[in-house]
Structure 1
């Protein structure tokens, strides 16, 4: 489940950065149309691909239920961090992406 959590959080952060407001707040610039499309695509792919580790770990039925819980937890964490600690939200997404290969090896 750790890999699914890391992927969901990074996906939501990418979707968040695809908006003008959050991109400007965190990176101090407006996103170009290509960057916006790239962030949206990456965010959607990460959210979609996060179902894989969840279903591998617990089976299809239970894995999808746990994936929904992980999805809500990662979104809640991002929503709570953005107003008060926006830089920490960005740092956690980067650390999560770096830790994903370790979590993937721990899965098997």
Structure 2
């Protein structure tokens, strides 16, 4: 479940950075069209991988329930961090990307 949480948070952060307002606030400047497409693609890919991680750790019935719980927790964390600590929200996304291979290794 930790792997799904890390991937969900990173995916939501990538989708958030695809928006010009948040990209400007966190990284400075508006994203190019190519970067926006890449961030959207990466965000949806990470969310899809988190679904795979949740379902592979448990069966489809409980895996989907866990995935929806992880979706809500990671979105809530991002929404609460973004207005008050935007740099921390970005740093946590980087840490979650770096920690996801470790969580995947520990899952096996």
For residues 66-85 of structure 1, the C-alpha deviation after alignment (integer angstroms, 9 at most, x for no partner) is 10000000000000000000
Map 1:53-68 to 2 at 5 A: 53-68=53-68
- SS of residue in 1 equivalent to 2:72: helix
Map 1:2-21 to 2 at 5 A: 2-21=2-21
Structure 1 runs of 4+ aligned residues shifted over 4 Å read none
For residues 31-84 of structure 1, the C-alpha deviation after alignment (integer angstroms, 9 at most, x for no partner) is 000000000000011111211111111211100001000000000000000000
Residue 92, structure 1, aligned to residue 95, structure 2: no
Q: TM (normalized to structure 1)?
A: 0.98
Give 5+ residue unaligned stretches, structure 2: none
Give 5+ residue unaligned stretches, structure 1: none
After superposition, the CA RMSD in angstroms is 0.5
Q: TM (normalized to structure 2)?
A: 0.98
- SS of residue in 2 equivalent to 1:50: helix
Q: How many residues align?
A: 108
Structure 1 residue aligned with 2:51? 51
Structure 2 residue aligned with 1:38? 38
